[in-house]
Structure 1
Amino acid sequence: MSPTVLIVPGLRDHVQAHWQTLLAAQLTKVHTVPPMGREDLDCAKRVQAIEAAMAAIDGPVVLVAHSGGCVMVAHWAHTSQHAHRVVGALLATPPDFDQAMPEGYPTLATLQAGGWLPVPRQPLPFRSLVATSDNDPLAAHERVLQLARDWGSETVDLGAVGHLNPASGFGEWPMGITLIQQLSTDGGYPYT
């Protein structure tokens, strides 16, 4: 049985021109964590939304998270009844929530109040691949590499891709499908 892809968007939720939204339209076995609203930054609610989405899927799953969604996955992974069904997780450009982010993004105080901090640092209980950017405005490259080491993740350096979002010039991201296929087939599951 080929795995189902579960898309976990970041704090800005679903964006029409975002690579995750475009990816979901291309895949046949795909679910997306429902929108939570950009103003609702309650981490526990978002973790519960991942758990509910996983419960609605039969069989193995590949998680595809971006930005804050990567941190959501880290919070979810050690409390879930379904994490054992994850054959791999693609964690694209996680932000550094331990440092102040640029204007227009949540403050450290807002993240703390929403339950995001501290960011979980223990190894994830499934295979994961962190896609990094050399010039992400939301995280220094070396700090993301350390986060990946803490999570026990493999890494792939995407080069200078900003935050891998529409503001950085990314709509479609064909490499995403390649990485999903790699996570699926390396885990012993055919990808269709």
Structure 2
Amino acid sequence: MTRHLLVPGRGAPRPEHWLSRWARANPDYRWASEPTGPPFVLADRVVALHAAVTTSGEATVLIAHSAGCITVAAWAARYGNAGTVHAALLIAPPYLDPRRRPGPDDPGDLRHDMIPRRPLPFRTVLVASRTDPYTSYEQFEQYAADWGSQLYDAGDAGHLETASGYGPWPAGERLVASLA
């Protein structure tokens, strides 16, 4: 059996968000860390992901949204594949502009230079939107190249969250099934 770990983004997903729906609908889907709102502390999220990955010997698929993708990349850079992760679905990682000055609600330890830029040690599919307000398609292409990910073009999908119309997300479910 394959275990699925959900890696939330910066905030807690709303109940109607596809991540929350999947957690409720699938008994083998677990949160890698309890989804909480800001502040997003990358070091804490990496430690929580490591604890979740190493608690079981089951084959694991990671499903990460937004800043959760950065958590997965940072975890892999720190721990390699210390566990049984055999694949990850990385949905809409945010681009962090190196010239941007963080605002008061922005995570203090999530900066451009904190994002690993080397291949991840397991199979990955990176889901990219043509209309994401946080990341251009070219920036998604660069993440995919850096991380050794297969790039999946989701088209006009915004940030693939509730505000963009994603409660149910059947295409995402098919992508997860392709990784198992």
- Normalised by the size of structure 1, how large is the TM-score? 0.84
Cα distance in 2, alignment partners of residues 35 and 68 from structure 1: 14
Pairing 1:72-91 to 2, within 5 Å after superposition = 72-80=71-79, 82-91=81-90
Are the counterparts in 1 of residues 77 and 116 from structure 2 also a CA contact under 8 Å? no
| Residue of structure 2 in register with 1:114 after alignment | 109
| Residue of structure 2 in register with 1:27 after alignment | 26
Are the counterparts in 1 of residues 130 and 157 from structure 2 also a CA contact under 8 Å? yes
Cα distance in 2, alignment partners of residues 95 and 115 from structure 1: 11
Are the counterparts in 2 of residues 5 and 63 from structure 1 also a CA contact under 8 Å? yes
| Residue of structure 2 in register with 1:188 after alignment | none
Are the counterparts in 2 of residues 134 and 158 from structure 1 also a CA contact under 8 Å? yes
| Residue of structure 1 in register with 2:39 after alignment | 40
Deviations 1:27-80 (A, max 9, x none): 231211233532222110011111111122331100000000001100001222
2:36 partner SS: coil
Cα distance in 1, alignment partners of residues 69 and 137 from structure 2: 15
Aligned residues with identical type, % of pairs: 36
- Normalised by the size of structure 2, how large is the TM-score? 0.90
| Letter in structure 1 aligned against 2:134 | L
Deviations 1:89-142 (A, max 9, x none): 0001111023678xxxx649944x314441111110110000110000010111
1:72 partner SS: helix
2:97 partner SS: coil
CA 1:11–1:51: 2 relative to 1, 3 Å: same
Are the counterparts in 2 of residues 3 and 29 from structure 1 also a CA contact under 8 Å? yes
Q: Provide structure 2 residue ranges, at least 5 long, that are not aligned to the other structure.
A: none
1:147 aligns with 2:143: yes
1:182 aligns with 2:175: no
Are the counterparts in 1 of residues 11 and 40 from structure 2 also a CA contact under 8 Å? no
2:139 partner SS: helix
Which moves more between the two structures, 79-88 or 154-163?
Answer: 79-88
* Counterpart pick for 1:162 among 158, 161, 171: 158
Provide the alpha-carbon RMSD of the alignment.
2.2
| Letter in structure 1 aligned against 2:79 | S
| Letter in structure 2 aligned against 1:159 | G
Q: Provide structure 1 residue ranges, at least 5 long, that are not aligned to the other structure.
A: 185-192
1:20 partner SS: helix
1:87 partner SS: strand
Cα distance in 2, alignment partners of residues 153 and 107 from structure 1: 30
| Residue of structure 1 in register with 2:96 after alignment | 97
Cα distance in 2, alignment partners of residues 12 and 109 from structure 1: 11
